[in-house]
Amino acid sequence: MSRRADGLLNHNYPGDDKGPQDACGVFGVWAPDEEVAKLTFYGLYALQHRGTESAGIATSDGDRIVVFKDMGLVSQVFTESDLATLPGDLAIGHTRYSTTGSSTWVNAQPTLRPTKYGTLALAHNGNLTNTGDLAEMVAKLEPPAKNERGATTDTEIMTALIGLQHEKNVEASALAVLPLLQGAFSLVFMDERTLYAARDRHGVRPLVIGKLERGWVVASESAALDIVGAAFVREVEPGEFLIINEDGIRSQMWAVPEPKGCIFEYVYLARPDTSIAGQSVHATRVRIGKKLAIEAPVKADLVIPVPESGTPAAIGYAQESGIPYGLGLVKNSYVGRTFIQPSQTIRQLGIRLKLNPLREIIEGKRIVVVDDSIVRGNTQRAIVRMLREAGALEIHVRISSPPVKWPCFYGIDFATRAELIASGLEVEEIRRSIGADSLGYVSAEGLIEATHVPAEKLCTACFTGQYPIAIPTDLSEGKLRLEILDQNP
C-alpha cells in the first residue's frame, strides 16, 4: 500500500555539488510483544543519513505481509495513522539512495513478491556487479509478460530469483541464490513468519544484530539498535545467513568469509555514534584527524570543520596540532532534501543553502578547514570563496581521506571517473582549482592505521583503483552499464 503511488513528486537537492551519496539503510525486527512498525520507523529514522530518496516498511501478522513505501524522508513518508495500519510481529524497513535503477516510486523498497511458498519482502544495502547476468537468469525462469513490475533495481532481481527457485521454502531458496550474487549486499527479508538476513562474503556494507527483551533486531548500523533500545550483540559475519522466528535465531555460513569492509564507512558514511569492527566511528575519525595534522601540518590560528562529517577529524587535527578548534561554518540541517525547486536567485547562492560562515569567528584569521573528501571540488571551491569574503586571511584545506580517484561499484555513488577531480589533477592543481592557500590529504596508510583494521580486510578501491570484487570489463565512462535493467528511467 502507498500514498502518492504515481511517484511524480519533485525531489531536488539544493546546492551546486553532488558529493559522495550514501549507501542505503536496512532494518529488520522480530518482536511479538512490540509495535514492530514503530520500531522500524525509528530504526529507519536513525539510518536516514544512508538514504534520503525513499523509505518503506513491510510488516507481517503471520498471515499476510503489508508494505507501505513512498518517496521522501522517513518523517515525510509515515504518519502515526500510517504506522497503525502495519500490524504484526515482524517487519523490515529500508531508506534508499539509488545506485542501480532510477529514483522513482516503483524502485522504493522493500520489494514485494508472491511465491509458491507465501509472500516475500526484501530490502538491500549495497550494489551487485553482475546484475545483467542475474536479470537474464530471471528472464529464463519467468516470461517477460509476467514481469510487469517495472522496477529497475538489483533488489528486484534478487527478490525475483529467490521467489522463482524450485525449493521447499524461502530459506532453501535464499541459500540457492546467495552464491549467485556478486558485489556488495547486506540484506533483510521476510516471509509471513520469519525474518532473514544475509551479508556478502566480503562484508563490504555493515550489518549488525541486536537483542530486545523478547525479540531480535538486524540493522545497518549499531546506532539504530541504540535508538530502539536493542542491546548490541555482534556484527553479522561476511558470508553469514540468519533465520529469526519464534524458534529463536539460527545462523549458518553460506560462503567462506573474505572480509573487505568499505573504508569510506569510517570516513563519511556511518554515523559517528556507530561502531564498526569493534571501533567507534567517532574515535576513528578523531584519529584520522590527528594523522592528518602530522602528515599535513600548517601554521594557522583556527581549525574549523565542514559540518557535520568533518567535525571529528577537525577535533583530532586541533588536538594534535595545538591550533584552537572553533565553529566557523553553520549548517542548515534541514536542507538535505526538499520538494520545492529553489528560485534562480536562491540557486545561484549554491552552497549557502547548506552552509554559512560566522564572520566574527574567522575574520582576520588563518583558517584550517577540515572536510571528509573532495569529489568534484565544487563544494570546497564555494567554501573557500565564502571564507575569503568573510575576511579569512589564509585558507588551508585539509581532507580526512586520500584523493578519490575511482568510482565505487559497491553501493556509493561518487561520480564517473571523468568527473572526479583527483582522477585528472595533482594535489597542487586541485589546490589552485579550489582557490585554497594550501591543500593536504591524509595518506592511505595513515587512514588505514587510524581504523585499527588490517589493510587486507578493507576495500580502498575508490582511492587505489584496486577492486576486491570483480566488476564487468564493459564500463561506460567509469560507471556500470546496466541498460538491461533501466527500462523506466
Q: Which fold has domain 25-260?
A: Glutamine Phosphoribosylpyrophosphate, subunit 1, domain 1 (3.60.20)
The string of pLDDT tens digits covering residues 357-378 is: 999 999 999 999 999 999 989 8
* pLDDT for res 487: 31
Closest CA to 276 of 265, 291, 287: 265
Q: What are phi and psi of 173, to 5 degrees?
A: -65, -40
Q: Give the pLDDT band of residue 191 (cuts 50, 70, 90).
A: very high
**CATH architecture of the domain covering 280-456:** 3-Layer(aba) Sandwich (3.40)
* pLDDT for res 419: 85
Q: Give the pLDDT band of residue 15 (cuts 50, 70, 90).
A: very low
pTM of structure: 0.88
- Residue 132's CB is within 10 A of a number of other CB atoms, namely 18
Say how far apart CA 161 and CA 157 lie, in whole Å.
Answer: 6
- Residue 356's CB is within 10 A of a number of other CB atoms, namely 15
Q: Where in the chain is the domain with CATH 3.40.50.2020?
A: 280-456
Q: What are phi and psi of 288, to 5 degrees?
A: -60, -45
Residue type, 341: Q
Q: Where in the chain is the domain with CATH 3.60.20.10?
A: 25-260
Tell me the catalytic residues: 24
The string of pLDDT tens digits covering residues 42-76 is: 999 999 999 888 899 999 999 999 999 988 889 98
Preceding omega of 308 cis (within 30 degrees of 0) = yes
* pLDDT for res 418: 84
